[in-house]
Amino acid sequence: MTTAKPIDVRDRLIVGLDLPSVEAAEAMIARLGDSVTFYKIGYQLAYAGGLPLIRKLADAGKKVFADLKLHDIDNTVARGVESIASSGATFLTVHAYPQTMRAAVDGRGGSALKILAVTVLTSFNDADLQEAGYRLGVSDLVQARAGQAKAIGVDGLVCSGEEAARLRRIVGAQLALVTPGIRPAGSASGDQKRVMTPTQAIAAGADYLVVARPVVAAADPKAAAEAIVAEIAQALG
């Protein structure tokens, strides 16, 4: 994937269906209507029976980001990716360990599925990495993994807005940058430690913005989504 291909402004917003049931997710999708074209299905919904929703959304013309963050032995990752590739998902995440990324690229084969490598979770900071035994801080580890991802041939990176500008210089237009931890001005940061507004993230070079709670927990989710899309459009000029 390259950023040279134009991305529809509405597709740049990925709404996270971080909800406890398929019924709650389907109700939210109905409320959002045509204001949202791209959805994320992560652990909470996937483990609540939400994986078949990928195909249902794809068949309805929506794009789906399967945020499953795979990381296991090579064969397990490759076969898991192979299964997701037949689901209709647009994006799938794996952790940015070299062996895992190589297995994921192998598993997706000639399918249209795009592999995104998660560099460092946006809920982590330098102290968290040190506690986990890493010798590198967030910035250095993210950049090292970005270079490996580009060489291996994944399609994009998941990174915070804080790293987007540096990573764009490393990967150029070859990889898409998908940025979680997006909080519109005035929103609570929650458990995220590296956050940006939509305007800041787009200015930093992000291609796609992942937003969950500021949309799905809003009093008017459709209006919240429309406001973010409008802010993205304005940031793009």
Does the active-site annotation cover 150?
Answer: no
What span, in angstroms and rounded, lies between the C-alpha atoms of 220 and 32? 9
What is residue 194's predicted lDDT score, i.e. its pLDDT? 47
What is residue 5's predicted lDDT score, i.e. its pLDDT? 66
Residue with tokens 């809003």: 218
Q: Taking 50 as the threshold, does the pLDDT of residue 155 lie above it?
A: yes
What span, in angstroms and rounded, lies between the C-alpha atoms of 133 and 162? 23
Beta pairing partners, 157: 117, 177
Residue of 5, 40, 56, 69 marked active site: 69
Q: Taking 50 as the threshold, does the pLDDT of residue 144 lie above it?
A: yes
> Is the CB of residue 66 less than 8 Å from the CB of residue 93?
yes
Residues of the chain with pLDDT > 90, as a percent, come to 76
Q: Taking 50 as the threshold, does the pLDDT of residue 161 lie above it?
A: yes
The ranges assigned to domains in the chain are: 9-236
What is residue 164's predicted lDDT score, i.e. its pLDDT? 87
What span, in angstroms and rounded, lies between the C-alpha atoms of 95 and 93? 7
Dig out the tokens for 228 from the structure. Answer: 């973010």
What span, in angstroms and rounded, lies between the C-alpha atoms of 12 and 210? 8
pLDDT per position as a tens digit, 75-102: 999 999 999 999 999 999 999 999 999 9
Residues 6 or more apart in contact with residue 107 via CB below 8 angstroms: 77, 78, 79, 80, 81, 82, 85
| CATH code, residues 9-236 | 3.20.20.70
Residues of the chain with pLDDT > 70, as a percent, come to 93
pLDDT per position as a tens digit, 15-33: 999 999 999 999 999 999 9
124: confidence class by pLDDT, cuts 50, 70, 90: confident
- Measure the CA dihedral 71/20/33/199, to 10°: -60
